Amino acid sequence: FKDYVSGFPKESDMYLKTNGTIKLKVPEGSNGLLVKNLYLSCDPYMRNRMKKSINSSTVSMVPGSPIVGFGVAKVADSGNPKFKKGDLVWGRTGWEEYSLITDVENLFKIENTDVPLSYYTGILGMPGLTAYSGFYEVCSPKKGEYVFISAASGAVGQLVGQFAKLLGCYVVGSAGSKEKVDLLKNKLKFDEAFNYKEEPDLDAALKRYFPEGIGIYFDNVGGKMLDAVLLNMRPHGRIAVCGMISQYNLDKQEGVHNLMHLLIKQVQIKGFVVSDYYHLFPKFLDLVLPHIAEGKIVYVEDIVEGLELGPAAFVGLFSGHNVGKQVVLVSKE
């Protein structure tokens, strides 16, 4: 990570550095782990860590140090009794070939390897738990409800939509290209999907797909879409504010004008952060693993090969370049 970012992140905000050979050993006396990174996750929240922290709840990345994010790794050496050499883990690691991890509290052992390992950056990792906790815990969904999801083909959205379909909801997603709209309708089995970039009037588009209004909105983008959704909520509807990617690169946030509709329609709106729901992880896996095995839930990934392609992959999140969960493959084993 080169230096704090303002505006849209650029590939040149990151650089690749070779350190020569390293000793594949945990330093004497450390209870940390040396891991070999296999898959790295590109997540929109990382953009917020690229600015200088203005509050204690956001930990900034350190200029000159490796990017920090979620990933899947293999333990190369362990000074910790909970992990041994060869264990597969997912959690917080660095954007580098090998990382020395001292804070093992943020690492989880991978027990189930019947699925692609990259899934632990997405459907079986942080974004998967976000979809699960945001939909079931925050939205309190019921069978037959009308559900709308923005950034619907992404890491979180595609799973929220499939959970909603499994529950018997009517599900519509918005995404930024024809390819993504086709994916939502044909592969992910959403009832409807539309390209928000081709809709001059978002309010009219939502009225077309939800003539009786939206019961649940799973918000991944904020901004203009949220404003249009507010006009279209049903009485007693719920909005889960998962993310606001349309605002992350702006110095000043766009105004939201239609808040009065929260009152008129008695709508609940709740922001949530996945880290509050890690205790649900076992319950989440019990639900999702059988569905994956039976093919009832599918997951779309966009995997680039090579650490050197990480910056472009990350930057691409903010123009919608990724089709599905954006992953960087560093090493297959």
- Binding positions for ligand NDP, rule: CB under 6 A: 43-45, 127, 130, 151, 154-157, 175-177, 180, 220-221, 242-246, 272-274, 317-318, 320, 322, 325-326
Shorter beta-carbon distance to ligand NDP: residue 5 or 242: 242
Three-state secondary structure call for residue 142: coil
Shorter beta-carbon distance to ligand NDP: residue 108 or 318: 318
| Minimum gap (Å) between residue 32 Cβ and ligand NDP | 26
Dist CA 331 CA 217 (whole Å): 38
Hey, which bits of 164-273 come out as E strands?
170-175, 192-195, 214-219, 233-241, 268-271
Dist CA 103 CA 90 (whole Å): 13
Three-state secondary structure call for residue 60: coil
Shorter beta-carbon distance to ligand NDP: residue 1 or 299: 299
* Both structure tokens of 2: 């080169």
Shorter beta-carbon distance to ligand NDP: residue 69 or 237: 69
Shorter beta-carbon distance to ligand NDP: residue 300 or 330: 300
| Minimum gap (Å) between residue 84 Cβ and ligand NDP | 30
Q: Which amino acid is at 192?
A: E
| Minimum gap (Å) between residue 302 Cβ and ligand NDP | 8
Shorter beta-carbon distance to ligand NDP: residue 39 or 98: 39
| Minimum gap (Å) between residue 207 Cβ and ligand NDP | 20
| Minimum gap (Å) between residue 31 Cβ and ligand NDP | 29
Strand-pair category, 268-271 with 107-109: unpaired
| Minimum gap (Å) between residue 21 Cβ and ligand NDP | 35
| Minimum gap (Å) between residue 250 Cβ and ligand NDP | 9
Dist CA 175 CA 73 (whole Å): 31
Tell me the DSSP string of 72-128.
EEEEEEESSTT--TT-EEEEEEESSSEEEE--GGGEEE----SS-GGGGGTTTSHHH
Beta-bridge partners for 173: 149, 193
Dist CA 185 CA 173 (whole Å): 9
Output DSSP code: residue 311: H
Shorter beta-carbon distance to ligand NDP: residue 34 or 225: 225
Q: Which of 242, 243, 284 lies closest to 120 in space, CA to CA? A: 284
Rg, Å, the chain Cα set:
20
| Minimum gap (Å) between residue 289 Cβ and ligand NDP | 20
| Minimum gap (Å) between residue 65 Cβ and ligand NDP | 22
Measure the N-to-C terminal CA separation of the chain; round to a whole number of Å.
25
Q: Which of 248, 305, 314 lies closest to 42 in space, CA to CA? A: 314
- CB neighbour burial string for 315-328, b if at least 16 within 10 angstroms, e if fewer: bbbbebebbbbbbb
Shorter beta-carbon distance to ligand NDP: residue 98 or 120: 120
Shorter beta-carbon distance to ligand NDP: residue 79 or 161: 161
